[in-house]
Structure 1
Amino acid sequence: MDRRIPDDLIERAYQGKNTKEDARLLLQTPPFELFRFADELRALAVGDEVTYVVNRNINFTSRCVGTCGFCAFRDNKGYILSLEEILARVREAASAKATEVCIQGGLLPDVGLDFYQGIVEAIKAEWPEMHVHAFSPMEVYHAAHISGITVKEALSRLKKSGLDTMPGTAAEILSDRVREIICPSKLRTGEWIEVVRQAHATGIPTTATMMYGHVETPEERIEHILTVREIQRETGGITEFVPLPFMPYNNPIGEKMIREGRYATPGTEDLKIYAISRILLHTHVENIQTSWVKLGKKLAQFALHCGANDLGGTLMEESISKSAGANNGELLSAEELEWMIHGAGRVPKERNTLYRGVNKLAVSGRKKAAGYGTLQ
């Protein structure tokens, strides 16, 4: 049986018109043939630069009224950061030359939009140039409901307060069948899509994520990626796509999987997800981000040869993945990220949240003459 990628599928990929049937064929393609083609499309779309952002995660509370079965972070006797504590973390990020703070937290009962606006306004008052990348579609939906206003109005108020972009998290798998199993109290697929569309219409770009490797089928993964493609075709507001492997530790969904003899996704399967994402999203979403927190540094580095072109952020403080069993650290310096990029044979570039270049390279500008970060 010939398992090479058919010529007509390749042509549709170049045009950004791959179908579900094409995606099914890609799943059957030998891994390194798939990786090679995804890498070819990556080079065509974005060249040899690999980007990263100097940022800090701030998870302002571990308390949550949600019931997500995959969550190991929720603790209803846990912490809530005061505004002063949040600002102290932003101050540390600014001192470390971060250009972005990424702010998310659990869903607090009876906490409406004023709370979220207050965070953004306080940050912008002291650091007007700091990019505020904050609040998932679920958080915006929840805040709007508590405040008795529409999602459109909530987004408009957040924009006026200074919100720059939103993380496209809470997507998990965009299938109501899956969501009924893993997050029954979370917003439905159509509601997530509508919040994201409304954000784009309000002038708030978002990322898009996919948490895979739990109860979804390969078909549902494909449909998720194609849904992201359709949103992007309509709005153009997605800055990057971020596949996130499920961490099956310290949470009910994962514990059930492990009892059944299923564990975290194999590395080859992770890399195939990156490759298929690049192929299906070609000409639509330029940037495919790999997660060094989820994959580990070496597999994330190899993902740069499987369609990915972005290593995400330095993070400085990462709590959610760590609580679910990720053991790859909470912080990487810009220097180490650039070391990884050079080691993959690519050109590092610090970016801001909107993928515009900032500053000089942490490594190349100071140490390239000494051979630092190059393969010998």
Structure 2
Amino acid sequence: MENPFQLEFHSLLEKADKIRQSKWGKKVFFVRNLHLNYTNICVSHCKFCAFAKNKNEDGSYNMTPDDAVKYVSQKGSDACEIHIVGGLHPDYPFEYYIDMVHALKTNFPEKTIKAFSAVEIDYFSRISGKSISEVLEALKKAGVEMMPGGGAEIFAGHVRKQICPEKIPASRWLEIHETAHNTGLTTNATMLYGHLENDDDKFQHLLLLRELQEKSLSRGLTGFSAFIPLSFQPDDTFLHGKFHATGIEDIRTISCARIVLENIPHIKSYWVMLGHKTAQTALRAGADDLDGTIVKENIAYAAGKNTDNAMTAEQLVFMVKSAGMVAVERDSFYREVKIYG
């Protein structure tokens, strides 16, 4: 496959936008969702992460299952999706995560539980002695219905060794998502860019995702429903002082993703990391989804992100309409809830 990162900028955008239009016309999706980051205490010390803390460190916190239920009651009354990720806590047994999911699903049966990155799933396997499939089946039984795409970072080994040497390798991330697909879970995929990677690293990352998606679809599985490019936030990390990815790089990356990942239905323009204006512009460059209301995002903001950490549905609809598109409120599985004409 031709490397789209080598295309001239305007030709790249035009090609990506044509693919988006062929799939979704003028529709742009969003969801009413709530992010729940249950702890920032983590045994891993990824160099790019400003969110993680050690036990008893200033600013560290953890939630009990009851705390999680209370948080959703207070913050997520209109959310249809609870997005759950957190640190790798040194003391919590696997049962804690089962109890938390079960408590949330019992109290909010109408809300979709999208929970735990591949890194967390791998950790649960290690602390429980269970296989990946056994962990996923137990989480499904408790109420997990989808998996987010976090932890992929960048698959290139030479970069991964520099930014997250303690994190699972690319092969393990792909294995866990393939297992999730085989157990009937829909998942998302991500790529962190704008740090030490180059264009070829990004292209190879996208090709590996495309390959796994082809494999899952060939088996009649849902596979990945969306891809989310994540623009690296360097503040308060080991790359503090590095310039953020430019708007051009953000748009190029989203456009290239749309071209390479033609077999993944949706490309997100994640306003949390892109900012509102770049996220809106990306809707004309291949992206068809703005993620959602989020309510409170903690991980990017720990690295000094200075945009809002929540948006209302009305704000998202305005972003879409002012781009000349049609806003579509969706559920977690991209079933349309409401079209804002």
Fold shared per TM-score above 0.5: yes
Gaps of at least 5 residues in structure 2 are: 218-222
Please, which of 81, 85, 103 is the counterpart of residue 67 of structure 2?
85
State the alpha-carbon separation in 2 of the partners of residues 177 and 104 from structure 1: 26
State the alpha-carbon separation in 1 of the partners of residues 16 and 81 from structure 2: 29
State the alpha-carbon separation in 2 of the partners of residues 200 and 220 from structure 1: 25
Q: Percent identity?
A: 38
State the alpha-carbon separation in 1 of the partners of residues 198 and 93 from structure 2: 36
Between structures 1 and 2, the one with greater strand share: 2
In the alignment, does 2:225 pair up with 1:243?
Answer: no
State the alpha-carbon separation in 2 of the partners of residues 118 and 168 from structure 1: 22
State the alpha-carbon separation in 2 of the partners of residues 94 and 295 from structure 1: 24
In the alignment, does 2:256 pair up with 1:276?
Answer: yes
State the alpha-carbon separation in 1 of the partners of residues 33 and 264 from structure 2: 22
State the alpha-carbon separation in 2 of the partners of residues 92 and 345 from structure 1: 34
Q: Is the 8 A contact 1:293 1:327 kept in 2?
A: no
- Superposition RMSD in Å: 1.2
> Structure 1, residues 8-66: CA drift from partner, whole Å, max 9, x if none?
xxxxxxxxxxx1xx11xx32322122111111110001221000000010111111000
State the alpha-carbon separation in 2 of the partners of residues 30 and 218 from structure 1: 14
State the alpha-carbon separation in 1 of the partners of residues 114 and 5 from structure 2: 34
Match of 2:177 in 1: 196
Match of 2:42 in 1: 64
> Structure 1, residues 187-206: CA drift from partner, whole Å, max 9, x if none?
11111111111111111111
The aligned length equals 332
State the alpha-carbon separation in 2 of the partners of residues 250 and 148 from structure 1: 35
Please, which of 27, 35, 40 is the counterpart of residue 18 of structure 2?
40
> Structure 1, residues 212-258: CA drift from partner, whole Å, max 9, x if none?
11111211100100111111111141010000111111011x22xx3
- Secondary structure class of the residue paired with 2:257: helix
Counterpart residue identity of residue 100, structure 2: I
In the alignment, does 2:165 pair up with 1:187?
Answer: no
Counterpart residue identity of residue 247, structure 2: G
State the alpha-carbon separation in 1 of the partners of residues 194 and 86 from structure 2: 23
Correspondence 1:1-376 to 2 at 5 A: 19=1, 22-23=2-3, 26-76=4-54, 77=57, 78-95=60-77, 97-236=78-217, 237-252=223-238, 254-255=239-240, 258=241, 262-282=242-262, 284-358=263-337, 360-361=338-339, 364=340
- Secondary structure class of the residue paired with 2:179: helix
Structure 1 window deviating more from structure 2 (207-216 vs 108-117): it is 108-117
**Between Structure 1 and Structure 2, whose CA radius of gyration is higher?**
1
Tell me how far 1:93 sits from its aligned partner.
Answer: 4.4
State the alpha-carbon separation in 1 of the partners of residues 5 and 121 from structure 2: 35
State TM-score, norm by structure 1: 0.86
State the alpha-carbon separation in 1 of the partners of residues 165 and 306 from structure 2: 28
Q: Is the 8 A contact 1:93 1:101 kept in 2?
A: no
State the alpha-carbon separation in 1 of the partners of residues 198 and 169 from structure 2: 18
State TM-score, norm by structure 2: 0.95
